[in-house]
Amino acid sequence: MSARALALLFAVLLASPSARGAKLAGAATTDGAGGLSLDALRQRISSARGTLPPRERVTVAYIFGGVAGKRVIVRDGSDERTDVTYGPLMAASGVYHKQAWHQNENGETVLEQPEPGNATRETTTTTVTHVSVPFDAYVIATLNAVGDGFKEYIDPRSYHIVRYERIRPTGTSVTAYDDFRTVDGYTRSWHWTQRDGHSENDADYRVTQDDPSIAAPNLTIPDSRREFVEFPAGKTSVDLPVREDRGKFIVRVEVGARGLDLVLDTGATGIVLDDDVVRSLGLAHYGSISNPANAGRYVTTQAIVPHLSVGDLQLHDVVVRTIPHLDIGNGAYKSVGLLGFDFIGALVLTFDYEHGRVTATRPDAFTAPTGSPVFAIPVRLGSQQPLADVTLDGALGERFLIDTGGAGTMLIFDYFARRHPEALQTASFLGSTLRFGGVGGGFDAKPYRVGDVRLGKIDFKNFTVYRVTSAQSYSGNQDGLIGTDLLQLFTVYTDYGNSMLYLIPNAAGRAARS
């Protein structure tokens, strides 16, 4: 889990019942709830909660992953900002004039772009029931066809939300709320806990201050805290020390006197190092979290690297996250980490697969390539991964990851397959299941040949994709990923500052197109 993933986890863990949205997908039904409809129950919840004051500052103290932290939420109408500290680490997020943003632990401010909203939404069903187990409560359940989703438990006397369950293929997390207090006409929980069956993730939160009398705050979007990647004086572009191996670029990174090989990975939401490397460097660890992401569950922590260099580029006080051993190497090298968003987002990178080169350019010195054929691919970066629109025989997904560390041509995840079963029903199954490797373990995938695949204005005919079939692997809400077997047919430019990628067919790509 990277800095951004942790920030997102903070947002989920620290949300009070008042923050739970009332917008639900699917058809609402009444089932054994004493005649209460969803709308009637929501109205009682809203009445019990009251009206938010025009402005407020709420401070929350918490312990998560064994580390104490603090969260300060400042709101003025619909604008808000949240500052999170976690041991020595800091992150922030907010909304200003409807523009969502976040600032990761390495101080980089990222604007979050909404999806176009043209993709088919997953069908969910909302039911209202009255239960006696685990206690007397109304339950609003919003679940998809396989039973994933969320449940809200409402006390039938106070109409406060006292329990929230988030159900995923990787397990269920339970948040329990108590100690409800009213300040200036608005009632919220002042204490809550979260459990998901993994003790590393046990969390406890308590409101320590609720001040609705604050003066008008400044909630404008902050600049990045620092220049995270430093160029040598007088240079605006440098070549990185890389080797190319089977479509992946391996970067030589120096930490003190030690040289490390890291994968240059747009799919990584931060900078990641092997557990053993972090220990051998004698770095302090902060927190311990059980993460179910990608190919399997693993335990991860955070650390701060005092100095790191990538060729001529210098980085200081670098927040990294740990992962288990990577199975990437060929005997000449062994990769011990991932160089992801925090590094890539501070630069414009040119991945030249044909010549085995990667060039880093200062964003203010970059000019986008022009001419034909240059394919401009808009991407959304709110997750600290470049997500793009892809269609398979006309079925649209808006959450396909462009992944320079990913395997294969294109992986199809369960989220897309559930919503578009027709896309693979009309495809040709190409034979036996294949085994791939990812962070946290291996996973199985079945190959299919799809008649037409489109990425931006790039059209691929009779294209091979791989449907991930291992339970719990890539079980989130992304549609799939575009991997190195496809990307190495192009020269790829990453212009994150303008939310764009540019792809230019190289010699192999031109031959494949013809």
Q: What is the pLDDT of residues 359-401, one digit of tens each?
A: 999 999 999 999 889 999 999 999 999 999 999 999 999 999 9
Q: Is the pLDDT of residue 29 over 70?
A: no
Q: Is the pLDDT of residue 21 over 80?
A: no
Helix (H) or strand (E) holding 424: helix 421-425
Q: Write down the pLDDT at residue 294.
A: 67
Higher-confidence residue of 18 and 46: namely 46
Q: Is the peptide bond before 373 cis (omega within 30 degrees of 0)?
A: yes
d(CA 132, CA 352): 62
Distances in whole angstroms, Cα of residue 103 to Cα of each of 75, 77, 387: 17, 21, 19
Q: What is the pLDDT of residues 300-337, one digit of tens each?
A: 999 999 999 999 999 999 999 998 877 677 778 889 99
Q: What is the pLDDT of residues 440-469, one digit of tens each?
A: 678 889 999 999 999 999 999 999 999 998
Which of 48-62, 224-238, 424-438, 470-484 shows the lowest per-residue confidence on average (mean pLDDT)?
424-438
Q: What is the pLDDT of residues 34-52, one digit of tens each?
A: 679 999 999 999 999 999 9
d(CA 10, CA 84): 8
Domains of the chain: 3-123+168-211 (2.50.20), 237-365 (2.40.70.10), 375-513 (2.40.70.10)
- Grade residue 24 by pLDDT with cuts at 50, 70 and 90: very low
Q: What is the mean pLDDT of the chain?
A: 91
In order, the DSSP letters of 64-103 are: ETTEEEEEEEEEETTEEEEEEEETTEEEEEEEETTEEEEE
Predicted model pTM:
0.90
d(CA 63, CA 268): 26
Q: What is the pLDDT of residues 279-301, one digit of tens each?
A: 999 999 999 888 876 667 888 99
Positive or negative, the Cα torsion across 138, 140, 144, 148? negative
Query: Per-residue pLDDT averaged across 426-452, rounded?
Result: 84
Which of 134-143, 342-351, 406-415 shows the lowest per-residue confidence on average (mean pLDDT)?
406-415
- Grade residue 483 by pLDDT with cuts at 50, 70 and 90: very high
pLDDT above 90: percentage of residues in the chain: 79
Higher-confidence residue of 428 and 494: namely 494
3 state SS of 23: coil
Q: Is the pLDDT of residue 28 over 60?
A: no
Q: What is the pLDDT of residues 102-131, one digit of tens each?
A: 999 999 999 999 999 999 999 999 999 999
